[in-house]
Amino acid sequence: MDMHDLTRELSLKNDSKIIMLVSDGIGGCALEPGGPTELEAANTPNLDTLAREGSCGLSIPVQPGITPGSGPGHLGLFGYDPLKYQIGRGALEATGIGFQLQPKDVAVRCNFCTVDDQGNITDRRAGRISTEEAAPLVEKLNNIKLDGAEVFVQPVKEYRFVLVLRAAGLGGSVADTDPQKTGVPPLDPKPLGERSNSTAVLAKQFFEKACEVLKGEPKANALTMRGFSPRPSLPTYEEVYKLKAGAIAVYPMYKGLASLVGMDLLGEAKTLSEQIDVLEQNWNDYDFFFIHFKYTDSTGEDGNFEAKAKRIEELDAIIPRIRSLDPTVLTVTGDHSTPALMKSHSWHPVPTLIHAPHARVDRCQSFGENEAAIGQLGTFEARFLMPMLLGHAGRLNKFGA
């Protein structure tokens, strides 16, 4: 029995408000044995109070030892088994730039490349042209017309862009055209199943028209395509939890992930303070709010322990504004760890707290990795956070008599 079968059956509506505050990559590591992690080093009086008054634990994003990207990291937090719901590379890339995929779409991650007179690739990344150089080329490609399908081409960064084909009945199983080496031409887009024949035909047409458009460009005169994928089919928060949910994020990737599970995208905030403005403005209209804070991840990726601790303190300072709204359930967590020590995402479980009237108060005196290890939530898979939040919000009926 899938967990969502259970929450579909047991969930009920009430007046509770749930806030999920995701501090991206918040989990960290000590720089030396006996030392504090970034979170433990930061001065966080407000998070510590939440920890003292609530329950803490450690969240495993996917499975022990597995380091997630942002996609599976957030799907887990949203309660969607990241191993069951895998988002194709193209769809994730489109989502990451805020492209709202429709059910009829197939998204493709593309790279500009350089080919010689014979059409053989001489540079798989087109000399790593800059975002600025790529922009006008992407715009030209976006004007390409195909028979029987709408075409959207959007820039990502440098030599990378996204192609979306929109037409009824397009399958998403087409082989990558990147030969992964130079001296040969890009491969033909080959359907990997009958349902994807027309997708492959459209992709081939797009490739040919694009090469015409790009003819004469010194570096970006061709392209390769990877990760053909349809819009992932995820049941919505309304369907599986009976929650009207809103997302308050700054970056396109997190807006995209939230919209895939049916959250409304709220506001146009650029700062944490503006995000809380948006929260206040929408407080009466939603049951559930996802608030995404990016900078604990980016400072971790930079390997800047001090800067990450400072960003955690910035997050801490906003907590009183959140608490003044008196949410029924407030959880603070992360989609994964990003230890400055490693300068990358990691598999380490993520400190997580739940603050609610019926949270079982534990012995955790502060919010941190090692305190959380003795907390009442134990060490749990992230996908179980949502049913725990629903339980704490009184939004789940008893299972069985």
- Residue choice 12, 135, 184, 374 for contact with its own copies (CB under 8 A): 374
214 or 385: CB nearest its own copies: 385
Number of residues that bind its own copies (CB under 8 A): 73
Establish if 216 lies at the interface with its own copies (CB under 8 A).
no
- Residue choice 15, 65, 117, 145 for contact with its own copies (CB under 8 A): 65
Minimum CB–partner distance for residue 81 and its own copies (Å): 9
* Part of the chain binding its own copies (CB under 8 A), chosen from 132-140, 292-300, 311-319, 380-388: 380-388
Minimum CB–partner distance for residue 375 and its own copies (Å): 7
Minimum CB–partner distance for residue 376 and its own copies (Å): 6
DSSP string, 317-369: HHHHHHHTT--SEEEEE-SSB--TTTTS-B-S-EEEEEE-TTS---S--SSSH
DSSP string, 159-187: TEEEEEEE-TT----B-----SSSSSPPP
Minimum CB–partner distance for residue 61 and its own copies (Å): 9
- Residue choice 212, 215, 216, 400 for contact with its own copies (CB under 8 A): 400
Distance CA 310, CA 314 (A): 6
Segment 243-272, which members bind its own copies (CB under 8 A)? none
Distance CA 76, CA 70 (A): 10
CB 82 within 8 A of CB 72: yes
Q: Where is 371: in which H helix or E strand?
A: helix 369-372
Minimum CB–partner distance for residue 357 and its own copies (Å): 9
CB 112 within 8 A of CB 119: no
Q: Where is 228: in which H helix or E strand?
A: strand 222-230
Angle at 89 between CA 133 and CA 201, to 5 degrees: 80
**3-class DSSP assignment, residue 15:** coil
> What is the pattern of x (binds its own copies, CB under 8 A) and - over residues 23-42?
------xx-xxxx-x-----
Establish if 391 lies at the interface with its own copies (CB under 8 A).
yes
- For 199, counting Cβ atoms within 10 Å of its Cβ (0-12 exposed, 13-18 middle, 19+ buried), the class is buried
Establish if 301 lies at the interface with its own copies (CB under 8 A).
no
**3-class DSSP assignment, residue 265:** strand
CB 27 within 8 A of CB 340: no
> What is the pattern of x (binds its own copies, CB under 8 A) and - over residues 72-91?
xx--------xxx-xx-x--
The greatest distance separating any two alpha carbons of the chain, rounded to the nearest whole angstrom, comes to: 74
Among 14, 228, 284, CA closest to 101: 228
**3-class DSSP assignment, residue 19:** strand
Query: What are phi and psi for residue 209, nearest 5 degrees?
Result: -65, -35
CB 389 within 8 A of CB 245: no
171 or 339: CB nearest its own copies: 339
Segment 91-130, which members bind its own copies (CB under 8 A)? 92-93, 96
35 or 218: CB nearest its own copies: 35
6 or 192: CB nearest its own copies: 6
Minimum CB–partner distance for residue 293 and its own copies (Å): 20
Residue 215's alpha-carbon distances to 134, 211, 223, 326, in angstroms, are 14, 6, 12, 60
* Part of the chain binding its own copies (CB under 8 A), chosen from 170-178, 186-194, 240-248, 338-346: 338-346
75 or 151: CB nearest its own copies: 75
Minimum CB–partner distance for residue 52 and its own copies (Å): 6
Establish if 321 lies at the interface with its own copies (CB under 8 A).
no
Establish if 8 lies at the interface with its own copies (CB under 8 A).
no
* Part of the chain binding its own copies (CB under 8 A), chosen from 155-163, 169-177, 204-212, 387-395: 387-395
Establish if 236 lies at the interface with its own copies (CB under 8 A).
no
240 or 396: CB nearest its own copies: 396
Establish if 195 lies at the interface with its own copies (CB under 8 A).
no
Distance CA 380, CA 401 (A): 26
- Residue choice 63, 102, 271, 281 for contact with its own copies (CB under 8 A): 63
Minimum CB–partner distance for residue 299 and its own copies (Å): 18
